[in-house]
Amino acid sequence: MLPILGVSGVANIRNICSVEALFPWINQVVIALGIFLAIYLFRKFFVRKIINLLYRLTSKTRIELDDFLVAALDKPLQFFFIALGIYLALTYLPLSTETNVLVSRLFRSILVILAASCLWNVVGLYGQYSEEHTGLPGVKIDRILLPFITRVLKFVIAALALIVLLQEWDYDVNGFIAGLGLGGLAFALAAQQTLSNVFGGIVIITDKPFSIGDWILTPSVEGIVEDINFRSTKIRTFEQAVVTVPNSTLANEPVTNWSRMDKRRITFNLRLTFDTPRDKIEKCVTDIREMLQNHPAIHPETIFVFFDSYGDSSLNIFLYFFTRTTVWEEYLRVKEDVNLRIMAIMEKEGVSVAFPSTSIYFENELHTSAGADFNTGNTRSSAD
């Protein structure tokens, strides 16, 4: 029959057969696109339903960590449904075995990355929540630990995700880890100062000489601690400059933590003039001591007010006491109020503050060339 159809007839039959063979493949592509579009368009609906369900479950617990986990799931879940739609659409197509294996590996790799990003978000959200967290019942994490622990956890999450991805793509993880060991030895030799800063940070965190937000004083700097990381600690001075101090330096320096005082000291000498009568000095000492004992902002435990010494140009009353507050601004207000009350006592008793001065006495009278008599204060004209 083929000779009867001729060459043109045979070509037409072949074209018709190829088009008919193409129809099932086109249908599969259309169905795959429909699967992807359906999942893509309804992904937000699915994510909202899952998030609401998880929130209802976590609202019944007293643990805050599960709330952070749910909050961190939003974006990773949306990306998961997009990846799921692409994966299901591709697996529906009549692809080769090698291509299906490649698609499965890519999908599993995306799942690992999304899981790691979810945990990364949980750590970040939990670390930024407040100064002290109670994520688990009876567990408190100080603010100085949060930045350090957050960075350590993020590093562990990234390292584990990398190892799982390498295993997924048939890389030799054992050789990789051994290489890291040799590379770490070389790195340690080349970065001894950096490692000393890291260990200094560990010492600071474990010893806790200060926390984030504390006012500290060291031989290097004074200010408010803003951040501590693996290498250094950031301190904002009262001039609003940020000073970065290596952790190894802070770990080996004496640190005065003003924020941990339960009271703050005020001490000075009140200098009176030498012509102040004895009874006036006794009255001033008694009145000042009683004023401090009855002052609501002065700590009553240690109050010293005594006539202490004879100075070069004054009679010295020694004062030593503490304020109840340690906040600098409130401390200055209390100090000002005490000074004004002492001034009122002195005015009431008619006592004057002595100024630094020196008296010089001459055995003989002194004259200038113009005839000024320093002893009598009289001025004579010189005789020619």
Q: How many CA within 13 A on the CB side of residue 365?
A: 11
Please give the Cα distance from 327 to 258 (Å, whole number).
9
Band (pLDDT 50/70/90 cuts) for residue 231 is: confident
Band (pLDDT 50/70/90 cuts) for residue 3 is: very low
Name the more confident of 27 and 325: 325
Sorted by sequence, the CB contacts under 8 Å of residue 69 that are 6+ apart come out as 58, 118, 122
> What confidence score (pLDDT) does residue 180 get?
57
Band (pLDDT 50/70/90 cuts) for residue 249 is: confident
Domains along the sequence of the chain with CATH: 11-174 (no CATH), 191-259 (2.30.30.60), 261-349 (3.30.70.100)
Distance of CA 152 to the CA centre of its chain: 15
Name the more confident of 25 and 220: 220
236 close to 226: Cβ distance less than 8 angstroms: yes
Q: 153-170: per-residue pLDDT in tens?
A: 788 888 888 888 887 777
- Tokens linked to 280: 């006036």
DSSP string, 30-96: HHHHHHHHHHHHTHHHHHHHHHHHHHHHHTTSS-SHHHHHHHHTHHHHHHHHHHHHHHHHHHHS---
Q: 257-280: per-residue pLDDT in tens?
A: 877 878 888 999 999 998 899 999
Please give the Cα distance from 243 to 228 (Å, whole number).
12
Q: 80-125: per-residue pLDDT in tens?
A: 888 888 888 888 777 778 887 888 888 888 888 888 887 887 777 6
3-class secondary structure, 323: strand
Average pLDDT of the segment spanning 237-246: 88
Neighbours of 89 (CB within 10 A): 22
Instruction: Average the pLDDT over each of 6-15, 185-194, 223-232, 260-269 and give the range with the smallest value.
Output: 6-15
DSSP string, 267-299: EEEEEE-TT--HHHHHHHHHHHHHHHHH-TTEE
Please give the Cα distance from 211 to 225 (Å, whole number).
7
> What confidence score (pLDDT) does residue 376 get?
46
291 close to 250: Cβ distance less than 8 angstroms: no
Sorted by sequence, the CB contacts under 8 Å of residue 215 that are 6+ apart come out as 222, 223, 224, 257, 258, 259, 328
